[in-house]
A and B are shown apart, each in its own frame.
Chain A
Amino acid sequence: MNTVNRIFIPMVLIGLITAGIIWACGENPAILAEAFSNTFFSPFGLGYTIYYATPLIFTGLSVALCFHAGLFNIGAEGQLLWGSIAIVAVSHHFSQLPVFLAIPLGIILAALAGALWGLIPGYLKAYRGSHEVVVTILLNFIATTWVGYLILYPLKNPNTQSAETEIISSTYFIPKFSNAFSWFGTELFRTTPANLSFFIALFCALLAHLILYRSALGYEWRAMGTNFTAARFAGIRTRTQTLCLFVISGAFAGLVGVNEVMGSEHKVIEGFSPGYGFSGIAVALVAENNPLGIIASAFLFGGLQTFARELEFLSDNISKDISIVLQAILLIFIACRPWLAKRLLKQRGESHD
């Protein structure tokens, strides 16, 4: 019932609001139904939803882990850029590696690059008491310009005018669903970029769940989030743990590059992320920071992204940025829910008197 409440009611609400927006944009609300069925009842739509959900699981985990300890990691956007460019860099230098070495190396370096960029706010928060929100946001801007330099100069694809890197060596490719299951005579999710890195995301969610709820480390993090002062007096090394959290969060965010670079595009295109880092915050909030819930909530937001894409395709003057607006509306709704519930209860109580 609770899950129904959490996922279903917002969905209906979002549907109604979207219909309103579409009507206000002077389009026929009937395209809503078409976009909806294209998104959720076609293999094409589902493939795209998986493709969008994968990075959202990574960034959702990245944000949620920090949330558990009462910390805000708004820096996933910058961390995922470093993760992505790291893969291109390693392929640039070690293009001849065999597959069984290349793929693990790519994954590890993507995580490592994200972790290193997470180390900066972690250190500044833990040892200098800096405001982690402002620091991570400033680091996002720095990452955008510096990675932009790497895309445009050292790793530029010389054969094209557009701002993108060279194509990585094919040993680093992670197979798409359509190829991976071709032995069974089926091309699953044909022509979509959905790829097997989705399973890495599932594995990470499971890992995060185990660390959080089945290990001493996770216990200490949650203790920090519940009562920071008490946690410190109980002997938890809060500074080390803060640093550690930001590093692990950064690593999760860095893995977004695996889906984007090794799985689908095979290169880094400037500005490829439609704000995965920020959407991660919404994903984590909807799932109430539960790693396994994040999988479901990432699917919700991934679906929203696909849906917005369909809407842009079917209409003349709706842009796919509508998904960001819908995310914000969803967040407002979630924020208001306890308040609304209280008001409703109050009203009902008064009518009984």
Chain B
Amino acid sequence: MIDFINSTLRFATPLIFASMGGLLCERAGIATICIEGIILVSAFTSAAFDYYSSSPWLSLGAALLVGGVFMLLHAFLTVRVKSDPIISAITVNLLASGMTPLLMKLLFSNSTNTPSLPQENRFLPVFIPFLSSFPIIRHFSNHLSLVYLAILLPFVIQITLTNTRWGLRLIAAGDGPEALVTSGVSLNHTRFVALFLGGCLMAFSGSYLAIGHSSQFIRDMSAGRGFIALAAIIIGKWQPIPTLVACVFFGFTDALQIELQSSEMLNLILPAQFIQSLPYVISLVVLVFAMGRAKPPLAIGQTSR
């Protein structure tokens, strides 16, 4: 049971980072279907950077930068050039899915995966001494530092969005761009900053996948997490805490999927492929039944003016 909860947390972590990044961008009024692409480039960047530098934290920094820069491309196309946000996002996704194998072949002569990294060059579990003195919580005190960060992040974002000037401006950029412009704040500037920071948050997710959760970059390793994170945002109605709950739920389906695959009895009845598709099917079903009451930021879906 405890193992299962821990496994849920581990699977939820990349989804939380990705959806929080996406949430920032969407709240700023720019539809962001390109979470998947950002996860891919940042995962590749951290794996490749770690291979040369042997430092996970430096690689995380590099990944954040690359993730942010890729989102700046999305920001440029949607905010400056005023192209359709969905087409722009698809372009970013295409670029990411083509560029990673191309660079991989160039750097490592192999277009499917990067070399496996030694244990000491990856993120290591952090044992928190304070938590470990409590009776039940101590079982959950042996995670990677990124996992703790992910659980705290939605609360930080909630407070930032509702209690800081920057956060309120970001919400205004999404819900009432005209009002923001009227009050003398640059809409474009607000959106550029929001998208850059959103890209950095998504990059945490890629870094976690490549050098925390596993030890290398594998082609298309994001495996739809960017879209599941997007589903989590929609189900969470663009609010950080409900989105966190949705992410933990999807982390749970992921953990369940792994758990079910190892149970031999079930494998006889249900083929492994159907169990593998479980997270997507559940996302779809929840998405369909949670919709109807959800209210996206007003400016989303419109091409920016």
Contacts and interface: CB of A to CB of B under 8 A. Distances in A.
Contacts of A281: 87, 90
Contacts of B105: 317-319, 321
Contacts of A131: 234, 287, 291
Given A142-B277, A331-B94, A336-B81, A134 B230 contact: yes
Interface string B97-111: 111011011100101
Contact of A331 (B87, B228, B230, B291): B87
B98 A321 contact: yes
Contact of B284 (A142, A322, A335, A338): A142
Given A128-B291, A145-B277, A149-B271, A133 B98 contact: no
Interface centre among A21, A129, A317, A321, by most chain B C-beta atoms within 10 angstroms, is A321
B292 interface: yes
B90 A135 contact: no
Contacts of A331: 87, 90-91, 94
Main secondary structure of the interface of B (DSSP, over half): helix
Nearest to A331: B91
Interface residues of B, number: 46
Contacts of A328: 91-92, 94-95, 98
A285 B224 contact: no
B15 to A, nearest CB: 14
A135 B288 CA distance: 8
B259 to A, nearest CB: 17
B64 to A, nearest CB: 22
Interface in B186-240: 223-224, 227-228, 230-231, 234
Interface in B140-161: none
A331 B96 CA distance: 13
Interface string A123-165: 0100011110111011101100110110011000000000000
B292 A129 contact: yes
B231 A282 contact: no
A271 to B, nearest CB: 10
Interface in B77-99: 77, 80-83, 86-88, 90-95, 97-99
A210 interface: no
Contacts of A318: 102, 105-106
Interface in A318-349: 318-319, 321-329, 331-332, 335-336, 338-339
Contacts of B88: 335
B65 to A, nearest CB: 20
A322 B95 contact: no
Main secondary structure of the interface of A (DSSP, over half): helix
B227 A137 contact: yes
A138 B278 CA distance: 11
A25 interface: yes
B98 A324 contact: yes
B83 A335 contact: yes
A40 to B, nearest CB: 22
A138 B106 contact: no
Interface string B265-293: 00000010110110011011001100110
A285 B90 CA distance: 12
Given A146-B277, A321-B98, A321-B102, 18 more contacts: A21-B102, A74-B90, A131-B287, A133-B33, A134-B287, A141-B227, A281-B87, A317-B109, A319-B101, A323-B98, A324-B95, A324-B97, A324-B98, A325-B98, A331-B94, A336-B77, A338-B81, A339-B82
Interface of B: 33, 73, 77, 80-83, 86-88, 90-95, 97-99, 101-102, 104-106, 109, 111, 223-224, 227-228, 230-231, 234, 271, 273-274, 276-277, 280-281, 283-284, 287-288, 291-292
Interface of A: 21, 25, 72, 74, 124, 128-131, 133-135, 137-139, 141-142, 145-146, 148-149, 152-153, 275, 278, 281-282, 285, 317-319, 321-329, 331-332, 335-336, 338-339
6 contacts: A145-B276, A317-B106, A318-B106, A323-B98, A335-B81, A336-B77
